[in-house]
Amino acid sequence: MTSKREPIHGQWSGRLAFILAATGSAVGLGNIWKFPYITGENGGGAFVLVYLACIAIIGIPIMMAEVMLGRRGRRSPINTMRFLLVEEQASPHWQWLGWTGVIAGFLILSYYSVIAGWALAYVFRTGSGMLTGLTADGVQSIFDDLVGDPERLLAWHTLFMIMTMTVVARGVRSGLEQAVRFMMPTLFALLLLLVGYAWNSGYFEQGMNFMFHTDFSKISTNGVLTAMGHAFFTLSLGMGAIMVYGSYLPDRVSIAKVSIVVALMDTLVALLAGMAIFPIVFANGLEPGSGPGLIFQTLPIAFGHMPYGALFGMLFFLLLVFAAWTSSISLIEPAVAWLVENHGMTRVFAAMLAGSVTWLLGLLTVFSFNNWSEVKLLSAIPVFRDSTIFDLLDYLTANIMLPLGGLLVAVFAARTMSRESSVEELNMGDRFFYPLWRFLTRYITPVAVVIVFLHATGILIVFLRAIGIL
């Protein structure tokens, strides 16, 4: 059955435009801010290996599945799921998949915007020369001053949300393609410059060792869950961002090829960020597991000691803001597209509404770093003993909601949807690649996600003990 639908929000101009936009969504704070600090917190090498394995065997197949569902449905994720469940005669409950994605998007953007606000603040701090020549302690105290002041965080968060709403209101496609086209190569170049600095720091080997020496005794069960969750987060999977971008993809483009390119670029940026940061961490006697402030406490040291450091530093944080910006718009696009489709709102109004809700939720994160830093809502549960509200939001979204959303996407695409539909939409022949994709999404992906969940919640251990394996 061919049931091609016409897109109503417009389309990308072609393959390259989609690759740029999807890479813009994928490459963001996740690669440059989050990947290094969670690698540091989870002991290095083994964590990186689990993360890379998750990208390859879970991330890429699910990305293909999400793009495919989006392109077939050609609407916001909520309406895409509604349409597809009718077409495939599936249970009406599948529409919840669209809804949970929208909620995850709001929750993620609420803290994402606050962290992007830090990057904005650092554009000015590095550019003005305030960080030039400082020691590790000096850099640390500048960071502490920033996050300790709720008013300043609120101002930057507000500015970033306004930036996000402005682009979303204008329609994702105008201007965005151009921005990403210029941004990606420059970001690569600056990361390479930083890796070059790290190379000369005398600690490059130690940094590489930390990232690539695999010692499985250093990773906890929760670390494995974090690595898997991060694979979803960094590829923007499990909440509809890639699905909504897929809904603007022209029919003839190969979904497999574009998905692989996007995943490779995303991984490359994350690895380069790690290679730049860890040598600087060791060269300055810093702690790799020091948490969300890691890049703000390390990179300014490097910029502060290199020629034209203020200029390069400013440019780097500016690009980080751009990277975050092209991701943040994809986080609320599913909600905005739905408001336009179902409530007849203009894009401008829908963007303002969705943005205001997110802004308000962002206050939880703003206060997590200062006034409420001692509020530990789930301290009764051992893994959450020290978790602030920000930590809980991050855990809930990245480690639970996204993998669960991704799991359901895999189940729908490879089990509920008919083989004919997916063969037609993926269009990669019936020989090797289609069966491989189907095998991965039918068996490997769901089983891997479920095992990691059971493992992290301790249920697996109890079960294995019960049947005498452990």
Q: Which residues bind ligand PHE (CB under 6 A)?
A: 25-26, 28-31, 108, 233-234, 236, 239, 241, 327, 330-331
Could you give the C-alpha distances from 420 to 3, 89, 251, 441, in angstroms and in order?
12, 14, 16, 16
Residue 167 or residue 283: which is nearer to ligand PHE going by CB?
167
Helix, strand or coil, per DSSP, at residue 2 = coil
Cβ atoms 73, 80 nearer than 8 A? yes
User: For the chain, what is the largest distance between any 2 Cα atoms, rounded to a whole number of angstroms?
Assistant: 66
Q: Nearest distance from residue 275's CB to ligand PHE, in Å?
A: 17
First to last CA, the chain: 50
Q: Nearest distance from residue 108's CB to ligand PHE, in Å?
A: 6
Residue 306 or residue 354: which is nearer to ligand PHE going by CB?
354
Residue nearest to ligand PHE (CB): 30
Distance (Å, rounded) from C-alpha 355 to C-alpha 111? Answer: 13
DSSP secondary structure code for residue 382 in this structure? G
Q: Nearest distance from residue 31's CB to ligand PHE, in Å?
A: 5
Residue 23 or residue 298: which is nearer to ligand PHE going by CB?
23
Residue 330 or residue 358: which is nearer to ligand PHE going by CB?
330
- Residue 324's nearest CA partner among 140, 70, 111 is 111
Residue 156 or residue 282: which is nearer to ligand PHE going by CB?
156
Question: b or e along 434-443 (b: 16 or more beta carbons within 10 Å of the residue's beta carbon)?
Answer: beebbebbbe
Distance (Å, rounded) from C-alpha 354 to C-alpha 363? Answer: 15
- Residue 301's nearest CA partner among 120, 141, 127, 136 is 136
Phi then psi for residue 343, to 5 deg, are: -115, 10
Which residues does 418 contact at the CB level (< 8 Å), separation at least 6? 88
Q: Nearest distance from residue 267's CB to ligand PHE, in Å?
A: 11
Q: Nearest distance from residue 366's CB to ligand PHE, in Å?
A: 19
H helix and E strand count, the chain: 23, 0
What value, to the nearest 5°, has the Cα angle with vertex 280 and ends 276 and 286? 135
DSSP secondary structure code for residue 371 in this structure? T
Q: Nearest distance from residue 311's CB to ligand PHE, in Å?
A: 25
Which residues does 101 contact at the CB level (< 8 Å), separation at least 6? 77, 78, 238, 239, 240, 243, 334, 405
Residue 45 or residue 334: which is nearer to ligand PHE going by CB?
334
Residue 55 or residue 426: which is nearer to ligand PHE going by CB?
55
Q: Which two tokens stand for residue 336?
A: 């905005």
Residue 234 or residue 267: which is nearer to ligand PHE going by CB?
234
Q: Among all chains, which residue has been given the structure tokens 């990308």?
A: 12
Cβ atoms 426, 464 nearer than 8 A? no
Could you give the C-alpha distances from 249 to 188, 232, 238, 241, 314, in angstroms and in order?
26, 21, 18, 13, 35
Cβ atoms 326, 180 nearer than 8 A? yes
Q: Nearest distance from residue 8's CB to ligand PHE, in Å?
A: 22
Residue 79 or residue 236: which is nearer to ligand PHE going by CB?
236
Residue 326 or residue 421: which is nearer to ligand PHE going by CB?
326
Q: Nearest distance from residue 106's CB to ligand PHE, in Å?
A: 11
Q: Nearest distance from residue 270's CB to ligand PHE, in Å?
A: 8
Residue 64 or residue 139: which is nearer to ligand PHE going by CB?
64
Q: Nearest distance from residue 223's CB to ligand PHE, in Å?
A: 19
Q: Nearest distance from residue 451's CB to ligand PHE, in Å?
A: 23
